Structure 1
Amino acid sequence: MHKNIQRYPTLYEGVFERANSLNFLRLILASCVIFSHTPYLVMGAKVDEHPLVHNFYVFGDYAVNAFFCISGFLIAHSAYRSGAGSYLVKRVLRIFPGYWVSILFVVALGGPISVITGHAATGWDWADAFHYIRSNYDLMALQYPLFGGPIDVPLEFPSWNGSVWSLEYEFFCYLLLLPLFYLPFIRKNLKIFIPLAYLISLSYYLCNQYLGYDFMSQAFGLHPRDLNASARMYPLFFAGSLLYLLSRKIRVYPVLSVLCVAAGVYITWLVPHANVLQWTQLILAYGIIGLGCSINVSWARTNDISYGVYVYAWPVQQILVMLGSVSLGLAANIFLDLILTFGIAWLSWMFIEKPAMNLARHPIVTGSKRREPSPPTTHSTSDTPASQADEPAAAQIPHPLGHPIQFS
Structure 2
Amino acid sequence: MTLPAVLRSAAYPYRANSLNLFRLILAAAVLFAHSWYIAGRGTGPSLQGENLGGWAVAGFFVLSGFLITRSRLRSTPGDYLLHRVARIYPAFVVVLVVTAAVFAPIALLVETGSLQGYLTTPVTPLQYMWGNLPLEIQHYNIGATLQSVPYPGAWNGSLWTLFYEFLCYLVVWVLGFLAVVRRSPVVVGALFLVSVAVYAALGVAQRGGLDESFALFARLLPFFLGGSAVFYLVERWGTNLIFGVASLAAAVGLIAAIPHWGGQVAAPCLAYGLLSLSAVIPQPGWIAKNDISYGFYIYAWPVQQLTVLFGGAQWGMIVYLAITVVVTAAFAWLSWVLVERPVMLAIRERRAKGSTRSEQLPGDIQPAAGT
* Alignment TM-score > 0.5, same fold: yes
Match of 2:369 in 1: none
- The structure 2 residue matched to 1:239, chosen from 209, 226, 242, is 226
The 5-angstrom pairing of residues 152-301 of structure 1 reads 152-155=148-151, 157-183=152-178, 185-187=179-181, 190-209=184-203, 211-217=204-210, 223-224=211-212, 226-264=213-251, 275-299=261-285, 300-301=287-288
* CA apart distance, 1:245: 1.8
- Which secondary structure state, in structure 1, belongs to the residue aligned with residue 39 of structure 2? helix
Q: Is the 8 A contact 2:303 2:324 kept in 1?
A: yes
Determine what percentage of the aligned residue pairs are the same residue: 30
Query: Structure 1 residues 75 and 137, CA, compared in 2 at 3 Å: closer, same or farther?
Result: same
Task: Output the CA distance in 2 between the equivalents of 1:134 and 1:380.
Answer: 32
Query: Structure 1 residues 311 and 263, CA, compared in 2 at 3 Å: closer, same or farther?
Result: farther
Query: Structure 1 residues 305 and 269, CA, compared in 2 at 3 Å: closer, same or farther?
Result: farther
- The structure 1 residue matched to 2:25, chosen from 22, 25, 28, is 28
Task: Output the CA distance in 2 between the equivalents of 1:257 and 1:148.
Answer: 49
Query: Structure 1 residues 138 and 274, CA, compared in 2 at 3 Å: closer, same or farther?
Result: closer
How many correspondences in the alignment? 359
* CA apart distance, 1:366: 6.9
Q: Is the 8 A contact 2:137 2:160 kept in 1?
A: no
Query: Structure 1 residues 262 and 315, CA, compared in 2 at 3 Å: closer, same or farther?
Result: farther
Query: Structure 1 residues 367 and 215, CA, compared in 2 at 3 Å: closer, same or farther?
Result: farther
Q: Is the 8 A contact 1:47 1:54 kept in 2?
A: no
- Residue identity matched to 1:60: G
Match of 1:381 in 2: 363
- Residue identity matched to 1:288: L
* CA apart distance, 1:338: 0.4
Q: Is the 8 A contact 1:78 1:87 kept in 2?
A: yes
Task: Output the CA distance in 2 between the equivalents of 1:261 and 1:31.
Answer: 20
TM-score normalised by structure 1 residue count: 0.79
Q: Is the 8 A contact 1:144 1:158 kept in 2?
A: yes
- Residue identity matched to 1:31: A
Q: Is the 8 A contact 2:247 2:270 kept in 1?
A: yes
Match of 2:338 in 1: 351
Task: Output the CA distance in 2 between the equivalents of 1:103 and 1:266.
Answer: 39
Query: Structure 1 residues 369 and 280, CA, compared in 2 at 3 Å: closer, same or farther?
Result: closer
Q: Is the 8 A contact 2:38 2:305 kept in 1?
A: yes
User: Structure 2: which 5+ residue stretches go unaligned?
Assistant: 367-371
Match of 1:402 in 2: none
* CA apart distance, 1:171: 0.6
Task: Output the CA distance in 1 between the equivalents of 2:270 and 2:188.
Answer: 18
* CA apart distance, 1:264: 4.0
* CA apart distance, 1:258: 3.0
* CA apart distance, 1:256: 3.2
Query: Structure 1 residues 188 and 330, CA, compared in 2 at 3 Å: closer, same or farther?
Result: closer
Q: Is the 8 A contact 2:304 2:324 kept in 1?
A: yes
- Residue identity matched to 1:55: S
The answer to whether 1:14 aligns with 2:12 is yes
The 5-angstrom pairing of residues 122-161 of structure 1 reads 123-125=117-119, 128-155=124-151, 157-161=152-156
Match of 1:41 in 2: 38
Q: Is the 8 A contact 2:254 2:263 kept in 1?
A: yes
- Which secondary structure state, in structure 2, belongs to the residue aligned with residue 247 of structure 1? helix
Task: Output the CA distance in 1 between the equivalents of 2:181 and 2:142.
Answer: 44
Task: Output the CA distance in 1 between the equivalents of 2:9 and 2:362.
Answer: 16
The answer to whether 1:312 aligns with 2:312 is no
The 5-angstrom pairing of residues 82-93 of structure 1 reads 82-93=75-86
Task: Output the CA distance in 2 between the equivalents of 1:269 and 1:104.
Answer: 41
User: Structure 1: which 5+ residue stretches go unaligned?
Assistant: 218-222, 385-408
The answer to whether 1:55 aligns with 2:85 is no
Q: Which moved more, 1:146-155 or 1:86-95?
A: 146-155
RMSD: 3.0
- Which secondary structure state, in structure 1, belongs to the residue aligned with residue 354 of structure 2? coil
Task: Output the CA distance in 1 between the equivalents of 2:316 and 2:54.
Answer: 23
The answer to whether 1:337 aligns with 2:337 is no
TM-score normalised by structure 2 residue count: 0.87
Query: Structure 1 residues 29 and 264, CA, compared in 2 at 3 Å: closer, same or farther?
Result: farther
Task: Output the CA distance in 1 between the equivalents of 2:195 and 2:260.
Answer: 19
- The structure 2 residue matched to 1:70, chosen from 63, 66, 87, is 63
Query: Structure 1 residues 55 and 243, CA, compared in 2 at 3 Å: closer, same or farther?
Result: closer
